[in-house]
Amino acid sequence: MWFDGPQNARMAAVVKAFKHSWRAYRQYAWGHDELLPVSRSYTDSFGGLGLTLVDSLDTMYIMGLNDEFRQARDWVARNLIFDKPAGHTHSSRIRVLRFFYYEF
């Protein structure tokens, strides 16, 4: 099933909320693990893998946010590397690899 745009007000509100959050991530934390919205900065608490970006790819794809998806996909293709320290958890790498296993 392909998302063909919001079908009702509730769906439209979800897409609007996602886009609002994504714009803030794009502006203040692009390529980093997490946005810190109050300080308008970021943290790389998962080893600097761009975890928010990678975790959001499937959501953007399902929502039909093609421009946002392409920008994030291009960042992954150019910048995602696994030779950085793993951070405080091994599960962050599993989350990233899970995405690629199921999506590609």
Total domains in the fold of the chain? 1
pLDDT-based confidence at 48, cuts 50/70/90? confident
C-alpha distances in Å from residue 26, one per residue of 21, 40, 89: 9, 11, 24
Provide the whole-model pTM.
0.79
Tokens of residue 72, six digits: 């994030």
Chain centroid to CA 38: how far?
A: 19
**In-domain check, residue 70:** yes
**In-domain check, residue 26:** no
**In-domain check, residue 30:** no
Tokens of residue 79, six digits: 């910048």
Residues forming a β-bridge with 35: 42
Residue 35's CB is within 10 A of a number of other CB atoms, namely: 21
pLDDT of residue 14: 95
**In-domain check, residue 95:** yes
Average pLDDT over residues 4-21: 92
**In-domain check, residue 93:** yes
**In-domain check, residue 72:** yes
**In-domain check, residue 67:** yes
**In-domain check, residue 43:** no
Supply the range of the domain harboring residue 69.
57-104
pLDDT of residue 58: 86
Average pLDDT over residues 59-68: 91
